[in-house]
Amino acid sequence: MNILFLSTWFPFPPDNGSKLRVYHLLRSLAERHEVTLLSFAFATARPDMPGELADWCSQIQVVSVDPFQVNRAGALRTFLSLRPVASRPVPAMRQLTSDALRSRPYAAVIASTGMMIDYALQAQPGTVKVLEEHNSSTRWMQERYEQQSNAVQRLRCWVSWQKARRYEARLFRRFDLVTMVSEQDQRVSRSLPGYPGRVEVVPNGVDCAHNRPGLARPRPSSLVFNGSLTYSANYDAMQWFLAQVWPRIRAQLPQATLTITGSTRGVDLTRLALDDSVQLTGFVEDVRIPVAEAAVAIAPIRQGGGTRLKILEAMALGTPVVATTKGAEGLDVADDEHLLLADDPEGFAAAVLRLLADAALAARLTANARHLVEQRYDWRQIGQRFTALVEDVVQQ
């Protein structure tokens, strides 16, 4: 069948979590169906060199615009808006979608993230519509509200939470299927006011063939955080870790080093407690190498939704992981079996130091973690599940 896939991120090269997800879901869909890809192209996107996408997709068209930048707004406008400001339609993408929908009939239109909802809703009545969402905005806003202690900030976050609930409830019911990456996001979505629709879990994954142990020799006393600081949850994680945890580790292990991968473009580095022991790599062509070279991968995430590709990648590569409970949320992992979990500075530092000092523990965790990702989180299996869900809703 013909499928129109609308993506916020052009998925080649697949160099961040959102792109990786789209890349692997497209691959699975294209194995059984004819897929047309319409996408925004910005940052590191290379639509001129689409790689395997050219073989998978019958047609690829892009709008060379950063929709996040185009829709950037001040705090007041964002607060007063009844919908997420960043999701306001870009005329060029609206026209491109309209032209594609007129050119041929599609059995299904898939919107990858809420950014693409308006374009998907241009499809004719009777066309199956799927929202392939990565996170629940409602859940994220609720957590922000619950974390506030200041009365004014708490009120502002409550208003944002209620707006997100109403917006998602109204929009989700116009889709035949909504997919989320975790059971926590699924539960929140199913509880939206007046929403009777179908929400299924399609977790994030990892390519176990591409990410395999032994790609590099780990450096003693080395840590890695494989996440771009341009993403607010990653920035918050590093702010907390560098200020609260890193000094405790360095006090016990002065030779310890930390590598932070990913873009720092537009990031305020002055608010991070950086020193000579911390290396910022910027964008790297192959993030597997710095992860494989590290003795420990850290995921000190304290906010956001979804599931953490950075943890799955480290597990597949054979690098032991220390994470917060929030960081490992949505993954079927157990503390002291697949990784170590800690949520306070003292506990997180102690867990890192324990792993660095105990080779047997590190070996046990990495073996268990690799087995888990092979059994539960390989992209091949996840892509097949997503494809089956799309086929099922079309056939109903």
What is the pLDDT, as a whole number, of residue 196?
A: 80
What is the pLDDT, as a whole number, of residue 73?
A: 53
Listed residue (317, 296, 314) closest to 253, CA to CA: 296
Yes or no: say if 221 and 256 are a contact pair by the CB < 8 Å rule: yes
What is the pLDDT, as a whole number, of residue 270?
A: 93
What is the pLDDT, as a whole number, of residue 28?
A: 97
pLDDT tens string 70-111? 776 555 455 556 555 556 789 999 999 999 999 999 999 999
pLDDT tens string 11-70? 999 988 899 999 999 999 999 999 999 999 998 899 999 999 999 999 999 999 999 887
Can you spell out the DSSP letters for 36-59?
EEEEE--TT--TTS-TTHHHHEEE
Can you spell out the DSSP letters for 320-366?
-EEE-TTTTTTS---BTTTBEE--SHHHHHHHHHHHHH-HHHHHHHH
Reduced to 3 states, what is the DSSP secondary structure of residue 109? Answer: strand
> Domains plus CATH for the chain?
2-205+378-395 (3.40.50.2000), 222-376 (3.40.50.2000)
Q: Report how far Cα 245 is from the mean position of its chain's Cα atoms.
A: 24
What is the pLDDT, as a whole number, of residue 16?
A: 85
Yes or no: say if 227 and 263 are a contact pair by the CB < 8 Å rule: no
Regions of the chain with pLDDT less than 70: 72-87, 305-307
